[in-house]
Structure 1
Amino acid sequence: MAAPSLGLDEYQTLASRSDRTRNKGNGFDLPVLGLVGEVGSLLSEVKKRQRDKAAIIGYEQTVLEELGDTLWYLAIIADHADIKLATLASDGSVSDSAFSALQPQHSLPLNTPSAQFERTLLRLAAATGELAAAVDGSHGDKDHLKTRLASVFGHLVQAANEAEVLLEDAARFNIQKTEDRWPQDRVYPGLFDSTFPGDEQLPRTLEIDIYEREASNGKSYVLQSCKGLFIGDRLTDNIMEPDDYRFHDVFHYAYAAVLGWSPVTRALLKRKRKSKIRVDEGEDGARAVLIEEGVATYVFGIAKDFNFFADQKPGDLSLTLLKNVRQFVRGYEVHASPLWLWEDAILQGNHAFRYLREKRRGRIKLDVERRSLSIEELP
């Protein structure tokens, strides 16, 4: 049985749950800027598709996502103005119009943007500019604002028609994406190794001492020990300008503790899942180790520009950053981990890294069941 069609006001309510723009600026500034940006992104995708047809991957999915993001900002602007989304698509006589009433036709694969689609996007951009002018730093006249919102909405529906995309599909994908990033309830997924023998599981609790030493040549390196036994190699920064990357294994321990995933940690602790050859080679093998090292290096490069996320709280990290990290691990089990959990792992790892940068030594404590990594002074 097909799921009932999503209502416009129902979608607006769901969208407002992930609204982080309210009470910032005058209430309209950020969502209006976001709307202008999303329409610009749509135009940019069309331009790139026309210029590099063979080189653009996932064009159809990108258009679906951009249409959903545009709809989200439109719904949020209307919500800030106490205007129901359904009234933008009707004369106000319908309490909650369904998306199916807007586009009764079926969606088709979108291969090449049509000239008409391009013209409609330009009209959508113009209508968005008129909306921005109507807001103009204040609530302004509500009826005038509603007229401008309805104009943007009408062009958005027309653009979806010409792109052969169902706006309801875009809305549902948008809700799924925001729930992946900013969920109402944080429910931890099961651990990837829960069905494996105990000696092939990541230790559920673990303490690792990390400390810096100086070699006879004056260069510093990092050592790690667990229960009195050294693990891993001596680590240096391996870069011309020192940046303390020698402490970077703490990121792998954060992935292990929070995500329940770390081929690097499995290799260090000899916890590879050898009872299943395909898992051993595919999920815990050399390529998976390289992928994880790539993720750690990529995030580290961005974190350096933001003081290793010292001022970032849960919900603050860039959505683009998190999506790029997920793209890194595509094809591996951890790809299924929600973006908010990736953010937890990144923030907890960087918290421990900042401690090590300052103290040059510390005791890492992993608690996989609680999805937690902490650090304390090393006795």
Structure 2
Amino acid sequence: MMSTEPGDFSPLTIAAYAAQALSTDQRSDQASLTFPLLGLFGETGSLLSEVKKKHRDRASYIGYAEAVVEELGDVLWYLTVVAARGDLSLETIMASAASGGADAGQTPRTLASLQPAIMRRSSEPTAAFEHTLLKLAGDVGLLVAHHEAGHLAEPTVLADRLVTITRTLIQAANEAGVTLEAAAVKNLAKILDRWPRERIYPKPLDADAEPEERFPRDFHVEIFERQVGDRTYVFQRCNSINIGDRLTDNAMRADDYRFHDVFHFAYVAVLSWSPVIRALFRLKRKSAPKIDEAQDGARAILIEEGITTWIFGQAVDLDLFADMKPGDLPFDLLKHVRQFVTGYEADQCPLWLWEEAILQGYAAFRFLREHRRGQLHIDMNNRRLSVEALS
């Protein structure tokens, strides 16, 4: 798609995009059209929704242009999967759509070749764009109706419907001033951020910090309940020294949030990030004043606590993520987490790594909730948080 050499750019071909997109199809039911058709229908609706939000909140909605690019990329991905499951070539579909059905020839087409070389980008939804999106929704709806009626078993019917949808999609991109290549590149980056082909762990965020200001790479923390007067508190101890404040749930209804520091330790183990634990262990990076202020300061601590509380609210409704494995956490949850940490060093962490931290933290939390005490093992070298019984 793009060379690593400066100035040596190779346009993204349709075939290359299709190959990369299909490699990220996580579903096991790859013979069925139902899932990608639902996705295509849903993402087309999301695209319409972005236009509606821009009309409703014209002055305050500032993410419109970026959202259109993202939603077009999602539509393109599902279109690719529908074509593949129908044993159709995306390159042939797009060539037919661009040429009005004429013979597309054998030369591999790039996504850029489907659109004008120069387009005027619009920051506002135009009447033409709105009309084209409604047509796109109708085209996709007709495809779904044909599927329900059993008509898509005939390959030519599916091909004709996909060519029509693709032609309308290209027109919509043109009217929005968005290149399908940019939408495709962003789409692939988003998917691989969540479902990578290979999980390569980035270096610790404090790898370049002074040795005495780095998190310890391997340590243990004891967490246990103790009765004090007529109240029960959670205490934490590391190297036989009590750390932090004694904790309660701080809630009207008991929910065991008193054990929530386990989530911060999971962030340390997996993400190499936690302003909360840095403050607790007095590991703020004082030798780098800007980092100390921006990344380890009070605002960063509040951001982390906010993320942790928000995730907990989602987890309560999902059985504290019990029986979930990597790849199962809701994509929207992880996207919201990324939005929380935008501008902080933790936004360098890929979404799949955030998922690992969250799942490991909640596995330990469920253990503590059941046993009321345990010993955490924070192993940054292997990106693992584990918990075992504490006598």
Q: What's the TM-score once normalised by structure 2's chain length?
A: 0.94
Q: Secondary structure at the match of 1:65?
A: helix
C-alpha distance in 2, partners of 1:70/1:21?
A: 17
Q: Which residue of 2 is the match for residue 75 of structure 1?
A: 80
Partner letter of residue 213 of structure 1?
R
C-alpha distance in 2, partners of 1:258/1:35?
A: 34
Which residue of the other structure, out of 256, 268, 274, is the alignment partner of 1:262? 274
Cα shift at 1:137: 7.3
Which residue of the other structure, out of 157, 160, 165, is the alignment partner of 1:144? 157
CA contact (8 A) 1:21 1:31 kept: no
Q: Which residue of 2 is the match for residue 239 of structure 1?
A: 251
Q: Which residue of 2 is the match for residue 98 of structure 1?
A: 110
Q: Which residue of 2 is the match for residue 158 of structure 1?
A: 171
Which residue of the other structure, out of 16, 19, 29, is the alignment partner of 1:13? 19
After the TM superposition, list the runs of 4 or more consecutive aligned residues in structure 1 that deviate by more than 4 angstroms: none
Of 172-181 and 90-99, the range deviating more from structure 2: 90-99
Q: Which residue of 2 is the match for residue 23 of structure 1?
A: 29
Which residue of the other structure, out of 164, 169, 190, is the alignment partner of 2:182? 169
Segments of structure 2 that go 5 or more residues without pairing to the other structure are 1-6, 96-102
Q: Which residue of 2 is the match for residue 198 of structure 1?
A: 211
Residues 1:290 and 2:302 are matched in the alignment: yes
Q: Which residue of 1 is the match for residue 9 of structure 2?
A: 3
CA contact (8 A) 1:86 1:92 kept: no
Residues 1:225 and 2:230 are matched in the alignment: no
C-alpha distance in 2, partners of 1:344/1:109?
A: 38
C-alpha distance in 2, partners of 1:197/1:39?
A: 50
Partner letter of residue 271 of structure 1?
L
C-alpha distance in 2, partners of 1:276/1:169?
A: 37
Cα shift at 1:2: 5.2
C-alpha distance in 1, partners of 2:122/2:378?
A: 47
Which residue of the other structure, out of 239, 248, 260, is the alignment partner of 2:260? 248
C-alpha distance in 2, partners of 1:211/1:331?
A: 35
Residues 1:88 and 2:93 are matched in the alignment: yes
Which residue of the other structure, out of 196, 204, 222, is the alignment partner of 1:209? 222
Q: Which residue of 2 is the match for residue 125 of structure 1?
A: 137
C-alpha distance in 2, partners of 1:209/1:108?
A: 60
Q: What's the TM-score once normalised by structure 1's chain length?
A: 0.97
Deviation track 1:248-282 (CA, whole Å, cap 9, x = no partner) reads 00000000110000001111111111111111111
Deviation track 1:35-54 (CA, whole Å, cap 9, x = no partner) reads 11111111111111112111
CA RMSD of aligned residues (A): 1.4
Q: Secondary structure at the match of 1:89?
A: helix
Deviation track 1:225-252 (CA, whole Å, cap 9, x = no partner) reads 0011000101100111110000000000
Partner letter of residue 83 of structure 1?
L
Q: Which residue of 1 is the match for residue 37 of structure 2?
A: 32
> Pairwise mapping of residues 296-315 of structure 1 onto structure 2 (< 5 A)?
296-315=308-327
Q: Secondary structure at the match of 1:151?
A: helix
C-alpha distance in 2, partners of 1:230/1:108?
A: 62
Which residue of the other structure, out of 331, 338, 342, is the alignment partner of 2:354? 342
Segments of structure 1 that go 5 or more residues without pairing to the other structure are none
C-alpha distance in 1, partners of 2:12/2:70?
A: 17
C-alpha distance in 1, partners of 2:195/2:344?
A: 23
C-alpha distance in 1, partners of 2:217/2:337?
A: 25
Identity of aligned residues (%): 50
Deviation track 1:338-374 (CA, whole Å, cap 9, x = no partner) reads 1110011000000100100111111000011111101
Deviation track 1:271-312 (CA, whole Å, cap 9, x = no partner) reads 111111111111111111111000100111100111111121
Q: Secondary structure at the match of 1:302?
A: helix
Partner letter of residue 266 of structure 1?
R
CA contact (8 A) 1:29 1:137 kept: no
Q: Secondary structure at the match of 2:385?
A: strand
Partner letter of residue 273 of structure 1?
R
Partner letter of residue 88 of structure 2?
I
C-alpha distance in 1, partners of 2:118/2:229?
A: 72
Change (3 A) 1:214 1:256: same
Deviation track 1:3-56 (CA, whole Å, cap 9, x = no partner) reads 2221112111111111123417x6111111111111111111111111211111
